[in-house]
Structures are given as structure tokens and as C-alpha cells.
Structure 1
Amino acid sequence: MKEAGSKTAGDKPGSIEWDPWDPWHIRKETGQHQLTSVEFTVTQLCNLRCEHCAVGEMLVAEEGVSIPVERLIHRLDEVDTLQTLSITGGEPVLSPRVVKETIRPLLRYARSRGIRTQLNSNLTLPLSRYEGWVEDLDVLHISYNYRDAADFHRIAFEKYGRDVTPKAAEALFDRMLDNARALSSAGVFVSAETLLSPFTSPHIGQMHRDVAAMGCRRHEVHPLYPSDFAKGMNLVTLDTFREAILTLVEERDPSVWILFGTLPFYPCSDRIEDRELWLRLHQEENITVRQDPDGRNRLNVNVFNGDVIVTDFGDVPPLGNIETDSLPVIFDRWLGHPLAKKYHCFCPEARCTGPNILVADTYYSGWNFRERRAKIRL
């Protein structure tokens, strides 16, 4: 097994040995969950309306007024344990004003504190929009759920509300590929995420090869979250999910780091094939399983109304507001929440901190995770 190491200043975006977004490390070292990661939703604008979008219903045509970045930074100053900062939307790069007034100051602040950063972008905007600030970013996270431009046209504009020509969609798709290659060649750590669905799972091998061809250093694979726009989409069965993972492991480019997030298989499973998969993914080179950050080490802040939630696409109501509460106080409030107590189990012998709430509700609604124990050791 690849045992987790302690963090070092040399671990810029993270590594196989230490992924700073993974709550496992702090839970193992301190015996409790701590707030080490904050995510800001900095825009509700986007030039796409993807069918799988987990925040699609929050997107707007005109942006509201955001909380001054100085106020956001003040709240970050109160988090002594902070290790990572994520920026999401919408499409964060769509508005030059958001980039200038919110994103760049947050990245500079994080750099001054030695905090690692990630920004989620669809990467379809002109390359020039990323220049002048991307060098301060540790991870540029993109979505890749397409085989070709025709797929992109259907998926990215499924909920758009008006017709978009195939030619216009193809231009954006090609720009995304070109931007990924250019930024990767320039030394940017690009991490592409694929959501396993009935559509993507049969093609995961080819999609992985596309990710590698773009120069991405990491390929993240997650379940399709049944939230927001994706609520009506079909989900893969656990058997299909397992088969897709095994196909990807066999066909992967060994130079690309594969990260499985919110994996819907657990070491306490009654099924031997699930336990064997857990073991294999922890033994393969250049593959990691990230424990769920949401509610274990991360909170999400909406910069327009100040609301703080466990995740940017969950159904748990806001836990507080940065206008009245500090983030550590809100995080402690969450740790006392009935849902946290229900799902915050811990099996150190198997390197597991329990399930993602949405995944557990989808696939394991009858399970009491707090009463189960790992049946394997790493």
C-alpha cells in the first residue's frame, strides 16, 4: 500500500503520497475531522448548461453583487487549520471582473499562506483569459464527459434554453482541448474529471486516453451525483460502476494519476468483489482513492449571500452565514449535525472515513455505516 505521508512545502498540487484535499490525513493524525478546506462559489454565470450539472438551477443570466474579497479573506484568516482553497461556480473565468476582484486576490492570499488552490473551469474561453493569474494556481480542474464534439454539443447545451449550432459547439469543444494542451505544456497542473454514468461508463477507456492526450496530469473519476440538473438522469448500477473501473485500470495510461473520488464501494461491504476492488485500487501504482471532503474537512461559501453549506450541490440547508459566524464555528456546528453523526464513521485499518451523503442515499439507503466495520486491512 502507498501509505500517506506528512505534508511538505514541496508538495505543490499534491501527490500520490499526500493529497491535501483528502480528509484522511488530518483524521488519522489528530483523531478528529478539522476544517482544512474552504470552497468559494464566486459566480452563478456560465456559458454552458450541461445536463449533468450539479448546480445548474443556481445559474443566472445576471450576476448579483458579491461580498467584498476583503471580507472573505478576513474569514479565512480565522481558519488556523486551512490547507486548501477551491474556487468554483458557474464558470469562474467568464467575468473579467470576478477574476480581477475576487479570484486573483484569493489566489495571492493563498500563496502568501502556503495554501494550495484549485479552480473549476470548463476551459472553453479564450486562452488569454487564463493568462496573468493561472501561474498562482495549483490545480486547474476541468470536466470531461464527452467522446467528441457531437457529444459536447448535446451535453453542454442540453439545458441551454435556445438552439446552439453544432459548428458553434464544436468551436468551444476544440478550444477546450487546445487550451488543455497549451496550459499543460506550460506547466499548469490540469486535472480532468469524468462522471461515471450510463453514457460515459462504456467509453471510459477512450475518454481516459483523450485526457492523457490533452496533457492532463490527473484523471478524476466520480459517480454521477443525482443532484440539480442531474436529478432526472439514469445512474449506473454498482456492478456497471465496478466493471468500468476495472476497464479503466486495465487500459489506463500509467503516467496519468487516476483519482477515484466519492467511490461507491467500501471496505465494510458484504460483497467480496467490492472488497477486492478496494484493495486493488489502494495497491495499484499512480492510483488513489480520495475520501469525501464535503463535511469532513471542507465547507462551501456562497460569495453573494454569505451562506455556508456542506457542499456546493447537496441538499443540506445552510449551516450559517459568514456575516455572522466564523467558519470554524460553522464547521463545529456541522460536526454536531445528525447527518454528520450518521455518516462520519472511521475504519483506520482500511483507510476509510465513510461515504458521501448523496452516494450513500443513492446506493446504500438501508445501511447504518456507524454500525459496520471494515472486513479488510491495507
Structure 2
Amino acid sequence: MNPAMDQQTSKRPLSPQWDPWDPWHTRSTKGRYELTSVEFTVTHLCNLRCEHCAVGEMLTEVEAEPIPVEQLIRRLEEVDTLQTLSITGGEPVFNPKTVREIIRPLLRYARERGLYTQLNTNLTLPLSRYEGWVEDVDVLHISYNYRDASDFHRIAFARHKRDVSPAAAEKLFVQMVENAKTLSKAGVFVSAETFLSPFTVPHIESIHRDVASMGCLRHEIHPLYPSDFARDMELISLDEYRDAVRRLLKARVPDVWILFGTLPFYPCSSREEDVELWRDLHREEGVTVRHDPDGRNRLNVNIFTGDIIVTDFGDIPPLGNIRRDRLSDAFDRWLGHPVARRLHCYCPAARCTGPNVIVADTYYPETDFQKRKARISL
């Protein structure tokens, strides 16, 4: 294992000035993309079936046998450039065995190596499920797209095979909110993500206030990805998206970091309002635009099949398999892929590394980003 000394206390604190998941840092300093982040899909079990789930059809009732965690760690050891480690699912905390045999060993390894960590969870399970290990997580990431328990009931069980009573849904919703408050008070960095959809856009100000009231240090704003369960959901227009961003900026709670992920606006746009929004977001204190990690500095690994992929909810075929391939080799293979070459444009003066694959295909299917140039400098 890399330096056995515990480096947890020496890591630079997360802030709008330092987001180690953002590939901008490597691209702008090294002149190329490097594999600094690995995400493991550690389960396909989940107690929810959310309408917006981008991996919903992968969810199952019975889990397959995972690759031993020792083998996963050996592959991580081969990546000299590694800075961050993410854990996703399904609901990673659903099965105590997954926590005991996969999550806790990975977090121990990350702590000893000095890596930043994120765990994606719905936070609806008993608080005791997180005790004894959550302090090793740098970011506890939740999805929050609700006004109240009624919204949660409709959204979180939209694709469930069994009827779930409003009372049962309310219990989970209240538990999620109370867990977020308790963990935030205990010093855990809780980051809540909201997808901008026809439902959330009219309520984005109140959703933001709720995120702040739970003690979340960061509110992430993303497009709704038309993938898997969400493939037939209605998408908002770019005009609606831009308006929602403007309204959120006016209503924001100053102490909450707002992170716009996979933002569908770029400094090379022919529309002046898009360029102006890009400029304003980069001037706003406590607001950041995160460049897409998927394929720019991160790969996802399915710990059951071993497949190494660009993202857990994309359609690009596997780049290799962790049983036989080095992660860095798979990453280099991706950098030469036609899709990567089409989208990996780079405008240092405007601080832009190009669009997300799904966002580009959804909103800009005819656009060749390699032929566009930024219209501003920051």
C-alpha cells in the first residue's frame, strides 16, 4: 500500500477554490488529462426506485458475487496519479455485507493513501448504518429533488414493483432529512444534488433553502440525464435552464457552495446570454462550474462484471476489464476514442474543457465543439 502513514489531516480542505474531482486542475497544469479519479459501482441493490434514476434498470433484488476488494485495491495501487475515490450504486449502504467487505476497506485504503472520497447514498436508512466509518468519507452525496414527503413518495417509488404507502415513504423522507442534519452537525460534508427538470425548476428556490436548512455545505445543480429510468422524462429547454440558474443565484443562501455540474452552456456559444451566464457564474463568490470528470479524469468500475467504463450511466462500450487491464491503460484507450476527441476541446482563457457526452448529445447533437472558439476570457 502507498504511504502507510495516515494523511487524512494533511489534505487541503474542500472548498469552491479546491474541488479535486474537477479535471480542470490537471488539464490546466499538466497540459493533458490524467486518471486522477476512480469510481466503483459496489451494489445494484436499492430500497428506492426513483423516476430519475440513470441506472435504474441495473437494479436487482439479488446481488452477484463481487470481485474481491484486495483485487480492486491492487489496481488502484497501479495508478500513480490517483487523487479521488468515489463509491456509488444502487444504494451502497443497503447491504451491511457490502459496507463491511467492500466500502470500509476501500475507505481505509483511501485514508492511508491520502485520497479524497465520496459516497453516493439516499440517506434514508437508519443512522446506525453510517456509524463507525462515515468519518472517513470526505463527501456524503445525496439526491434531493423534493418539496415534501408527498413529492418523495411519488418520485422515489415511481418505478417500484410494489405499492409503498404514503406513511412508509414519509418515514424514509423524514429519516433522510434528520440524518442529513445530524451528520452535518457532526462535521460530515453533505452535498445535495438537484436535477433541473420540469418539476424541480418552479421550486428551485425552496429546494435550495431546504438543502441549506439540512446543513448541507454544497448544493449541486445538474441537468436531468435522459438515461435508463429517466430516458422518457420531459427535459427543460435551455431557456428554462438559464432562467432557473438566474433565479437560484438571486435566492441563494450565501454560506452554501453552489456547484453547477455538466452545465449545458459554454463560452463558445453564439448566444450572448449564454456567454454572459458563463462569465457571471465564474465571478460569483461561492459558486463553481465543475467540468465533467467522466472520461476527463475519472473512470467507473463495475465490481461485479469488472467492466471499466466512462460512466455508470452512459452507452459507450467498456474500455477494458479490471481483471486483466490496468486502469491507466483503459483511460489512455478512452482518450483516443472518437467521442473523446469530438468533445475534449479546451479553452484555457475561458476556463472550459468542453461538454459532457450526454448533455452534448441531448442539447447540441449537431455541434462540432472542436470547431468553436470561446468568445470571452476570464
Match of 2:180 in 1: 180
Look up the equivalent residue of 1:160 and give its one-letter code. Answer: H
CA contact (8 A) 2:16 2:286 kept: yes
* Alpha-carbon offset, residue 233 of structure 1: 0.0
The yes-or-no answer on 1:11 pairing with 2:15 is no
Look up the equivalent residue of 1:195 and give its one-letter code. Answer: F
In 1, Cα distance between the equivalents of 2:10 and 2:24?
19
In 2, Cα distance between the equivalents of 1:247 and 1:350?
24
In 1, Cα distance between the equivalents of 2:163 and 2:109?
41
Specify the SS of the correspondent of 2:204: helix
CA contact (8 A) 2:11 2:114 kept: no
Matches within 5 A, 1:188-199: 188-199=188-199
Match of 1:299 in 2: 299
Look up the equivalent residue of 2:309 and give its one-letter code. Answer: I
CA contact (8 A) 2:145 2:195 kept: yes
Deviations 1:148-185 (CA, angstroms, capped at 9, x unpaired): 10000000000001110000000000000000000000
* Alpha-carbon offset, residue 115 of structure 1: 0.4
Deviations 1:209-261 (CA, angstroms, capped at 9, x unpaired): 00000000000000000100000000000000000000000000000000000
In 1, Cα distance between the equivalents of 2:305 and 2:366?
36
Match of 1:88 in 2: 88
Deviations 1:133-162 (CA, angstroms, capped at 9, x unpaired): 001110000000011100000000000011
Specify the SS of the correspondent of 2:22: coil
In 1, Cα distance between the equivalents of 2:155 and 2:256?
25
Specify the SS of the correspondent of 1:112: helix
Deviations 1:32-71 (CA, angstroms, capped at 9, x unpaired): 0000000000000000000000000000000010000000
Match of 1:64 in 2: 64
* Alpha-carbon offset, residue 339 of structure 1: 0.4
Deviations 1:301-354 (CA, angstroms, capped at 9, x unpaired): 000010010001001011100111000000000001110011000000011000
* Alpha-carbon offset, residue 96 of structure 1: 0.4
In 1, Cα distance between the equivalents of 2:342 and 2:21?
22
In 2, Cα distance between the equivalents of 1:249 and 1:162?
39
Pairwise CA RMSD = 0.8
* Alpha-carbon offset, residue 11 of structure 1: 1.7
Where do 4+ consecutive residues of structure 1 move more than 4 Å?
Answer: none
Look up the equivalent residue of 1:205 and give its one-letter code. Answer: E
Specify the SS of the correspondent of 2:202: helix
Matches within 5 A, 1:96-245: 96-245=96-245
Look up the equivalent residue of 1:224 and give its one-letter code. Answer: L
Matches within 5 A, 1:246-261: 246-261=246-261
**Residues matched between the structures, number:** 370
In 1, Cα distance between the equivalents of 2:154 and 2:62?
24
* Alpha-carbon offset, residue 290 of structure 1: 0.2
In 2, Cα distance between the equivalents of 1:86 and 1:57?
21
Specify the SS of the correspondent of 2:334: helix
Specify the SS of the correspondent of 2:97: helix
The yes-or-no answer on 1:359 pairing with 2:340 is no
* Alpha-carbon offset, residue 16 of structure 1: 1.1
Look up the equivalent residue of 1:29 and give its one-letter code. Answer: T
In 1, Cα distance between the equivalents of 2:216 and 2:327?
33
Specify the SS of the correspondent of 2:15: coil
Specify the SS of the correspondent of 1:289: strand
* Alpha-carbon offset, residue 10 of structure 1: 3.9
Specify the SS of the correspondent of 1:169: helix
Q: Percent identity?
A: 70
